Amino acid sequence: MPLKEAAYRPYMLTLLAVILASNGVDRLALSLLLQEIKVDLALSDTQLGLMSGIAFAIFYSLMGIPIARWADKGNRVTIITVTTALWSVAVGLCALAGNFVQLLLIRVGVAVGEAGCIPPAHSLIADHFSRTERPRALSRYMLGGPLSAVFGYLLAGWLNELYGWRLTFLIVGIPGLLLAIVAWFTLREPRRQGMLNAREQASKEWPDAQESSPSLREVFVTLWTIPTFRHLMFSFAAVSFFSYGIGKWKPAFFIRSFGMETGELGAWFTLIYGVGGLLGIYLGGALASRFAARNERLQLKMMALTYAAFAVVSTAMYLVSNVYVAFALMAIATIGGNSVAGPVFATIQTLVPPRMRAMSIALLYLFANLVGLGLGPLGVGMLSDAIAPWAGTESLRYVLLVLSPGYLWGAWHLWRASTTVVRDMEVTYEREMTSSDSAQVEASSNAPRRIPGETVSSSI
């Protein structure tokens, strides 16, 4: 018997979070296994950066656009199921790679599959949770990120020591296939049921929440003309460049600079990214929903300050010579950095029209991944190779030290977004009212005008 809405919503969040964790396990495991792959296939840091960075990011980012278009008007459960199965099979195939080209092509297949995870999930969650609930709901969904650290670092670290990197990839790919089956049989697509969601929230939150799909040009123009969205996109891209570039090479840094083994390192990364990440994301969503509900301006200002502190602590990590002090600083930075995720994505889902929710996330990841995931690991790898002749095994330390203050760039854009978010919500809402047909305008004439800090409907 299908679950009632009260029980279904937490179940849906949990399952989507676990699928997100499966999505992230592969990339975290890859970062931990880069050194082993380098030795086995005789690759350079530049090749590793290319394979884990730009080659993956191009397909991951570009495929996100057509998938998100499909998600904004099609069956999101089908999208999540098919793409989960696809990336799981491709991850397992990494075990068969015999050279750089083969591994590169397989990673492209992984990228295509993983592109279908986040945009449909965000859209689905936004349909089931109101504006007030979204920071907490999306934070709980984003818990899948640090949850992936538990499996990606701990299991990959020990599996690599016991069985090698090839069998590790094969084992990592299996859970995704099982999750795809569970999603297919248990998740619901509200559109297929002839309803937007249990509370009919979108029809109250926006006057033209309907099945008509805007053109791709209309989506691009609409989103680009929202200053807050632009600042959030630039912030996400800047932070992604430094976080992907630095994060992908952190395991190699600890291996080279402190002589750690993958098993021990995986346990530490599990504790820091797993527990610290879970704590940070949960606190970010809970605090935003409790103390700044329906106050996106305050949420963005606090996130900007958090990222500024994150930049300082992250930089300090590469100045210390004691590995345990470095881990402590890394834990503090992880908690703070992860607290931003839920409120940022909740703001976006409230800011844009429902018809463009999946596309807004896809565009966000398009620029962030092309710049961050694409250029970050590659840039670090190239810089490391460039200074290796005089820096030796400490080349990564110097590169990561120089890049860490870059998080301040993302903080600046978040602060700028806080100055425009209220006005942009007003403008976007009024634009939607104007563009709706006369019958719809009349039907929504009793809906109050959105003003700073208030909802459109008391049920939202």
More reliable by pLDDT, 49 or 193: 49
Q: What is the mean pLDDT of residues 216-234?
A: 89
Return all residues near 311 (Cβ < 8 A) that are at least 6 apart: 404, 405, 406, 407, 408, 411
Q: What is the mean pLDDT of residues 392-403?
A: 88
Q: Token pair for residue 102? A: 């083969």
Instruction: Please report the pLDDT score of residue 327 as a whole number.
Output: 93
CB 189 within 8 Å of CB 76: yes
Percentage of residues in the chain having pLDDT higher than 90: 22
CA dist 69 and 390 (Å) reads 49
pLDDT digits (tens, 9 = 90+) for 89-100: 998 898 888 888
Q: Token pair for residue 415? A: 């602060």
Lowest pLDDT segment from 115-124, 173-182, 259-268:
259-268
Instruction: Please report the pLDDT score of residue 457 as a whole number.
Output: 32
The closest of 363, 315, 319, 364 to 337, measured between CA atoms, is 315
pLDDT digits (tens, 9 = 90+) for 347-382: 988 888 877 887 888 888 788 877 777 678 778 888
Lowest pLDDT segment from 154-168, 204-218, 391-405:
204-218
Q: What's the chain look like in SS3?
A: CCCCHHHHHHHHHHHHHHHHHHHHHHHHHHHHHHHHHHHHHCCCHHHHHHHHCHHHHHHHHHCHHHHHHHHHHCCHHHHHHHHHHHHHHHHHHHHHCCCHHHHHHHHHHHHHHHCCCHHHHHHHHHHHCCCCCHHHHHHHHHCHHHHHHHHHHHHHHHHHHHHCHHHHHHHHHHHHHHHHHHHHHHCCCHHHHCCCCCCCHHHHHCCCCCCCCCCHHHHHHHHHCCHHHHHHHHHHHHHHHHHHHHHHHHHHHHHHHHCCCHHHHHHHHHHHHHHHHHHHHHHHHHHHHHHCCCCHHHHHHHHHHHHHHHHHHHHHHCCCCCHHHHHHHHHHHHHHHHCCHHHHHHHHHHHCCHHHHHHHHHHHHHHHHHHHHHHHHHHHHHHHHHHHHHHHHHHHHHHHHHHHHHHHHHHHHHHHHHCCHHHHHHHHHHHHHHHCCHHHHHHCCCCCCCCCCCCCCCCC
CA dist 239 and 98 (Å) reads 34
**pLDDT confidence of 201, banded at 50, 70, 90?**
very low
CB 38 within 8 Å of CB 388: no
Instruction: Please report the pLDDT score of residue 2 as a whole number.
Output: 56
CA dist 123 and 379 (Å) reads 33
The closest of 272, 7, 289, 306 to 140, measured between CA atoms, is 289
Q: What is the mean pLDDT of residues 165-179?
A: 89
Instruction: Please report the pLDDT score of residue 210 as a whole number.
Output: 46
292 to 13, 27, 343, 447: CA distances (angstroms) = 22, 33, 10, 23
pTM of the model: 0.70
CA angle, 377 as apex, 376 and 381 as ends, to 5°? 120
Q: What is the mean pLDDT of residues 130-134?
A: 82
pLDDT digits (tens, 9 = 90+) for 412-449: 999 999 999 999 988 877 766 665 544 344 444 444 44
Which residue segments constitute the domains of the chain, with CATH numbers given? 8-443 (1.20.1250.20)
Q: Is 43 left (phi over 0), alpha (psi -120 to 50) or beta?
A: beta
More reliable by pLDDT, 1 or 274: 274
Max Cα-Cα span within the chain? 72
pLDDT digits (tens, 9 = 90+) for 309-330: 999 999 999 999 899 999 999 9
**pLDDT confidence of 213, banded at 50, 70, 90?**
low
CA dist 262 and 254 (Å) reads 10
Average pLDDT value for the chain: 81
Surface-to-core class of residue 409, CB atoms within 10 Å of its CB (0-12 exposed, 13-18 middle, 19+ buried): middle
Surface-to-core class of residue 309, CB atoms within 10 Å of its CB (0-12 exposed, 13-18 middle, 19+ buried): middle
